[in-house]
Amino acid sequence: MTAPGLTGAEATAPRSSALADLGILIEEQGSVLKATMPAVANLAVPGTTAMRICALCALADTQLGLLAVRELGPRVPVTLALDVHLFQPVPVSLPPARAEGPAGAAGSVGAAGPVSMVHATGRVVKAGRAVLVTAIEFADDTGRPLGVGTALFMVAPDPMLLMPPGMRPLDLFATTSGELAQPYAQRLGCRRVGAGVASLPFTDDVVNASGTLNGGILPLAVEEAVLSAAPGSYLTSLSLQYLRPVRRGPAVARAEVRGDVGTVEVHDAGTDALAVVATARTSPAHTVTRTSADAAGASAPAPEQRSRG
């Protein structure tokens, strides 16, 4: 559900396990969708305990995309825009070896304790004739608000693109068998290739069944580009406008940061097509307690299977 050319099934059920590794669970509760995602250490911005905003974008894209499938089906929905805004850093849970440190727990961010699970509630704001407006709210285990986001969807221009009969994409998120076992950027092969430039390879781990790069993964390239242009920072806000899918790759993000605002363009290097334009807001990383691990982060063991039932 992330860019023109993707079907709902393809966007929510990629061939690879890249999104599955995030451990997302989603269930329907009346008119809303409820979701959880483990706040594991491998989702932290390198050198900090703050969760990457791109991980929350992936959760929002998946969860709100399922709402779009429900509301717009059997026509196939595509994502026009996605944004996530944090009220404060989201402190991930660190393994015991990394959580210990002088002058208090290194796993804390400001006055907030570490979050073990991000809880998200997705809802439809307005179903217009042309555009579906959706919203999401993030909270920690105690219900403390962490941030908000929105996404806009429309039906694919091709009326022949329809959801597969009898398919229920929500069932794909009723159970999960694991969580992220290595740092997120490393898992997806995303590299900073220069100041303000990041490259996300076009591999099976990030490609949908339709053969285009999953737009829920693209915020990682945007975040990495901004972080490389503004060393010593993390993102508190990210807004993306999807223009066209990445069909060949790699997806190359180029960022320019002025003050605390970054502007980013993502091109499909294989076709030179502009795929995404984005805007991000940064905050100094010194406001976030640093971890004792190196910038790449540390691996976490895969947990036992979780399920909704």
| pTM of the predicted protein model | 0.85
Of 1, 19, 149, 133, the closest CA to residue 75 belongs to: 1
Where in the chain are the domains? Answer: 8-101+109-158+185-287
CATH class of 8-101+109-158+185-287: alpha beta
Task: Tell me how long the chain is.
Answer: 309
Sorted by sequence, the CB contacts under 8 Å of residue 39 that are 6+ apart come out as 51, 90, 91, 92, 93, 114, 115, 116, 117, 118
Following DSSP, what letter does each residue of 176-189 receive, concatenated?
E-----S-HHHHHT
pLDDT of residue 252: 98
- Taking only the tens place, the pLDDT of each residue in 19-75 is 889 999 999 999 999 999 999 999 999 999 999 999 999 999 999 999 998 998 888
Q: Record the tokens describing residue 147, joined without a space.
A: 């941030």
**Cα(215)–Cα(196) distance, rounded to whole angstroms?**
20
Q: Is the Cβ–Cβ distance between 92 and 140 less than 8 Å?
A: no
Mean pLDDT value across residues 176-182 = 78
φ, ψ for residue 305, nearest 5 deg:
-60, 135
- Taking only the tens place, the pLDDT of each residue in 206-235 is 876 567 898 899 999 999 999 999 999 999
Tally of CB atoms within 10 A around 231: 9
- Percent of the chain past pLDDT 90, that is, above it, reads 61
